[in-house]
Chains A and B, each alone.
Chain A
Amino acid sequence: MIEIDEQTLMAFADGELDAAAAAEVRHALEHDAALQARLEKLNEADGQLRAAIAPGSDIPSRFAQLLKPAAPAFKLRHAWIPASAALAAALAIWVTSAVLTTPTAWIQQTDQGLAIAGPLADAAAKTPSGTTFEAGKLRIQPVVSFTADSGRPCRDLSLRDGERTARVIACREAQSGHWIVEAMASVPASDPGAYRTAGAPRNAIIGAALTSLGAVAPMDARQETDAIARNWAAK
């Protein structure tokens, strides 16, 4: 049996061995249960560390303020729409397959652009952040509410089924009452630290959208409760 020392095993786990050396370790792993256990322990410890040293899922307002683009917000907003359309289509398929018993549309076309609909819109309108709205197998959890630069109320929603997670940012148009999709992204649900903290793993697309919308200060619980009570109409 080939003896694999700790540094070699570590370099293997870190993807740092050349092809020949990695093949040697893989071969040894096939025949050595103790070596397999050592590797699993190493990977498990690394995973635990990654989960432990993870920032929270929300962007602190100080960073949103610091990194807020100086360009006019409308330019950024329209830049998001084509990307959102493709992602919306993908998400529509995803949520439809996740909730076969719920034929309701989740995304609809409106004059203002793509808008969330059905249970997703209900969750955006009525569910406080941090609590879960369940629709079939799908769990919808608003992560945070904020007021965009444009004055529109916006919500960051996390959607989960057993294996997958997606994030949607939607902002409410005052006249129509539609929650217009500003950004969508699939996010990994494999990071237990981020996953548990607020049900909303971080994502560059969502983070950039929050920044571009001017999500400087999230609503606190009282402001959000008031907004839900008046159906998100302006004061």
Chain B
Amino acid sequence: MTSSSDDLRRDIAALLPRLRRFGIALAGSVEQGDDIVQAAIERVLVKSDQWQLGTSLESWTFKIMQNLWRDELRRRRTDERKQALNSAATDDMVDGSNVAESMLMLNKTRACFTQLPEDQRLALALVVLDGQSYRDAAHQLDIPIGTLMSRLSRGRDALRRMMEDEKTPPMVTVYK
């Protein structure tokens, strides 16, 4: 094992919070998101010799995660996919015993977010959640900046409408 391998592991460890957040945004739940992150990290570690110096590790890893998730979706039938997204709303992403109203709101937000079309979800994930510039996010998604802005705008608007809609299905929250 070389020191550069350790350096790579440390770089990935530093990125882990962002990778996990992106994983949740992709898959809709902590558990499935972590599965993607784990698979992506394993791939990065195995294929580190293919990583081109000068390119961003995070961008490369995000791309691998996107590809893994697309592969996963291809394997699923449409109804299974819907089931996965719906069940995400009931995943317990919190520890602790305090049931707070604000936590219910967070769960509702997450449930609504998972119902957005994937292109809008990814645009919001990169810009709002990960704080990337429009240029970097558009590059990551291989789309023009104008398309990215359109997806961001539609995603935010859809999320707002869903949050305001009292008919949104009630969220069931499981607290450990």
Mark A residues whose CB is within 8 Å of B.
6-7, 10-11, 14, 16, 41-42, 45-46, 48-56, 58-60, 62-63, 66-71, 130, 192-193, 196-198, 202, 204, 207-208, 211
Contact = CB atoms under 8 A, between A and B. Distances in A.
A50 B38 contact: no
B13 interface: yes
Contact of B30 (A42, A56, A196): A56
Contact of B156 (A45, A55, A130, A198): A45
Nearest to A211: B13
A66 B153 contact: no
Given A53-B129, A202-B17, A192 B38 contact: no
B93 interface: yes
B53 interface: no
Nearest to A210: B13
Contact of A208 (B10, B21, B102, B103): B10
24 contacts: A6-B153, A10-B152, A41-B160, A48-B105, A49-B124, A49-B129, A52-B107, A53-B113, A55-B93, A56-B93, A56-B95, A62-B34, A66-B42, A67-B16, A69-B6, A71-B6, A130-B95, A198-B96, A207-B14, A208-B10, A208-B14, A211-B9, A211-B10, A211-B13
Interface string B99-138: 0101101110110010000000000110111000110000
Contacts of A204: 13-14, 17
A55 B96 contact: no
A14 B138 CA distance: 14
Q: Is the interface of A mostly helix, strand, loop or mixed?
A: helix
A69 B8 CA distance: 9
B5 interface: yes
Contacts of A16: 133-134
Nearest to B22: A53
B24 to A, nearest CB: 5
Nearest to B42: A66
Given A66-B42, A67-B12, A52 B5 contact: no
Contacts of A45: 156, 159-160, 163
A50 B24 CA distance: 11
Nearest to B30: A55
Given A10-B156, A56-B30, A48 B17 contact: no
B21 A49 contact: no
B159 A60 contact: no
Which residue among A41, A45, A55, A197 has the maximum number of chain B CB atoms within 10 Å of its CB? A55
A75 to B, nearest CB: 10
Contact of A54 (B21, B100, B133, B157): B21
Interface in B1-30: 1, 3, 5-6, 9-10, 12-14, 16-17, 20-21, 23-25, 30
Contacts of A69: 6, 9-10
B84 interface: no
B52 interface: no
B88 to A, nearest CB: 11
Which residue among B9, B14, B152 has the maximum number of chain A CB atoms within 10 Å of its CB? B9
A42 to B, nearest CB: 7
